[in-house]
Amino acid sequence: MPINCAFYLSRGADIYYTGEQISGSLTVTVDGKKHFQLEGVGITLHGVSSVHWRESLHGPPEIEHNDSTGILENAKVDYKGTKVHISQTKKLTSGLRLQPGIFQLGDFKFQLPENLPATCSLPFGKVQYMLKAVFERRGKHNKCFQQRLVIRKSLEFSDLKPQITETSNISLTLSRSVFVPGQNVSYETNPKDGSSKLLTRLCKKISYTCQKPSAKTKTVVQVLSESLDLISNLRLPLTAPIMSHPDLLEPIQISYYIETLNYLDPPLKLPIFVVTAAPLMYSPMESSRLCFVNMALSQSDLMKPINQDLTQSLSPEIGSLALTKHCERIKLLKGPRRKKSYVQIALRYFYKKVGP
């Protein structure tokens, strides 16, 4: 007896910010000629972080058998860790007998906490959220249906946070250290010994923390941009994920920093803060003054194609925000233009002549 379930959310794109409310309804379709008996239907909002990587153990390689001719490798250990951020369940209905057809099972609402990490998919871990509907049946396996969600981090700073650090040989200055993805990071370096051979880099640092088989942290640093100029800008990618909250320890911690090296002294480092919204700053060095996060872009590869999300975002809730003066106009990607058929031309002519 085929049965299917559809999630209808209150907004077109399945993108939500922390602190917002997720609301919608469930609709079930029963095919065939027989009724479908249910003990109850519940819906759960579930969010979890998971990390996983493998490392080789020190020591001689393992030998499977004496006549082995394959290439022997060192034994490897799997490091894993998970953390559940939210798991809320609501009962939609109790015992129910569904006849063939389409039925609406009820509405649901979930409130997202402010301190949730954002959805992301990284080489050694991910953060994912989903709605899960469970159809309970007596004496049979339950039927489950899932709807993936993208949760974005809402993190704002009202202070520009200018910073400076120096040694006896060089200094590094940032006129601001609060940015959103896509902005230029302006810096200024000063070699006090007269040497101009300085390398300045914009780096992203991701730390993965596991619990099994023992507590361990794996740190990966990626250079996003670099320059040999003493005064310049480093581009922060538009797809850069929002930083993790500095006061919350999560299995996946994302941070950013600027460092300057002269290959003689230890590098100078200054943290930068990649957030949802940053205050405006009018400066000759700033080429991007608008500070915003594109609601249509996702931080993970779990999202659908960009054009599909943008067309869905024309719902009353999303569309009103997407067209405000603080957001850039987003132009949809278009395919090759096709010639209009004679039927279309005739219908348009008829509408202009006869229509109101």
Share of the chain above pLDDT 90, in %: 40
**E-strand stretches of 57-181:** 76-93, 96-98, 101-111, 120-122, 125-136, 143-152, 163-166, 170-174, 178-179
- Tell whether the torsion through CA atoms of 170, 176, 177 and 182 is positive or negative: negative
pLDDT band at residue 341 under the 50/70/90 scheme: low
Q: What is the pLDDT of residues 266-299, one digit of tens each?
A: 889 999 999 887 766 655 555 444 444 544 443 3
Could you tell me which of 169, 183, 176 has the C-alpha nearest to residue 235?
183
Determine the pLDDT at residue 60. Answer: 54
Determine the pLDDT at residue 123. Answer: 92
pLDDT (mean) for 60-78: 61
Q: Identify the bridge partners of residue 233 per DSSP, sorted by sequence position.
A: 186
The model's pTM: 0.71
The CA angle 135-110-239, to the nearest 5 degrees, is: 105
**Beta-sheet strand order (sheet of 178-179):** 178-179, 268-274, 252-261, 199-210, 216-227
pLDDT band at residue 1 under the 50/70/90 scheme: low
pLDDT (mean) for 170-187: 91
Determine the pLDDT at residue 307. Answer: 36
CA 263 – CA 260 distance, rounded (Å): 9
CA 112 – CA 126 distance, rounded (Å): 19
pLDDT (mean) for 332-340: 46
Which stretch of 1-10, 196-205, 328-337 has the lowest confidence by average pLDDT?
328-337
